[in-house]
Structure 1
Amino acid sequence: MFIAHIPSGYIYAVSILKNIKKTAIPTRLIIFSAVLGSILPDLDLIYFYLIDHRQTHHHKYITHWPFFWISLAIISYTIYAFSSHKKLGLLTLIAFSSCMIHIILDTIVGDIWWFFPFIDKPFALFTVKSLYKPWWLSFILHWSFALELAICSLAICIYTKRKKNN
């Protein structure tokens, strides 16, 4: 995924707002938490380009391990369920579950090591053949980019509808 992570985080946030209205958390914080979570796994790109010099597939870093985000989500839920820091627990749970949406979306055409660190095997639903230069053109001209455009369009529609209703 190239352009649909932030819109998917927004869609996720809006979709859960009705279910968590009873919390005293402002809507903007819930949306911010989900959108932040939607891009957190790609913060590894800083390391990938500046330090690792593209030697290791960035989806193999800990920030793209489903096990990592699931573990953090469980910790967040525990904080939410059993401590007095309910808001913090819920906001981090939203962020980390949004990270998992990022990982699921990356799995469509990008290798994700779903069982790492236990099994060192990548999984992807589809493969994008390297047909064009620069490399990213192969992704943009692949059918899966239409899915990204659909996610972006849906997010724009939801945003527009919410703005009209407010």
Structure 2
Amino acid sequence: MTFAHLPAGFITCTLLYDVYKHRIRSYKTYLFWGLLGSVLPDFDFAYLFLFDEAGTNHHVYITHYPIFWAVLLIASAFWLHFDRKSQLPVSAFLFTLGGFIHMFLDTVSGRMYWFAPFSYSVLSGDNMLFSIAPDYAQSHRHWGYGVELLIIFWAAYLYHRNVNSEESEVSALKKDT
């Protein structure tokens, strides 16, 4: 996926906000860590362009190892469970959840190595679709773009819903005064 990582991070933050709002001191900080985690795995492009003359597929870097993100996610979930007051574990959990969701999104339209560094066998949404429904996959080669558009539209819907609810709250407060 190319464009859906940041919207997916926004969706994650929006859906989990009510669960953690009592621990959040700054919504901007909350949103920052969730959005950063959703795009951080692709920061390995900087290394790819600056230092990797061989042009290695960036999905073989540690930032694209699902096991790496799973370990961080589990550790942050434990921290979140045992520290029930601070915003830091919430930020860490959102950050690592964003990275882990990034792995799933890259699997939809790309080739991912889910068991790296132990095994570099490829898992791909395209390969799975071809094995399950070859006729559909043959006639809908760009189905991943549809998934990406759905994520973007969902994030836009949630954003506009939030903006409209904030505007209605402000107008209700003005009527009360």
Fold shared by both chains (TM-score > 0.5):
yes
Provide Cα deviations, 1:107-158, integer angstroms capped at 9, x if missing partner: 012111101112121210105xxxxxxxxxxxxx823112212211111111
The aligned length equals 153
Number of the residue aligned with 1:9? 9
Q: Which amino acid aligns with 2:58?
A: H
Q: Which runs of 5+ in 2 are unaligned?
A: 128-140, 167-177
- Decide whether the 8 Å contact of 2:73 with 2:100 is kept in 1: no
Structural mapping, 1:16-165, within 5 Å: 16-53=16-53, 55-82=55-82, 86-126=86-126, 142-165=142-165
How many Å separate the matches in 1 of 2:156 and 2:54?
A: 33
Greater CA radius of gyration, 1 or 2? 2
- Distance 1:54-1:164 versus aligned 2 partners, 3 A rule: farther
Counterpart-to-counterpart distance in 1, 2:154 and 2:126: 23
Q: Which has more helix, going by share of residues? A: 2
Identity of aligned residues (%): 33
CA distance in 2, matches of 1:158, 1:40: 22
TM-score normalised over the length of structure 1 = 0.84
Once the two structures are TM-superposed, the CA of residue 83 in structure 1 deviates from its matched residue by 5.2
Change beyond 3 A, Cα 1:83–1:12: closer
Letter in 1 for 2:15: S
- What amino acid is aligned across from residue 142 of structure 1 in structure 2? H
Alpha-carbon separation, structure 1, partners of 2:7 and 2:54: 27
CA RMSD of aligned residues (A): 1.9
1:155–1:63 Cα change, 3 Å: same
**Aligned-residue offset at 1:31:** 1.7
Runs of 4+ that moved beyond 6 A:
none
- Per the normalisation by structure 2, the TM-score is 0.79
Q: 1:9 to 1:54 in 2, by over 3 A?
A: farther
Partner secondary structure for residue 52 of structure 2: coil
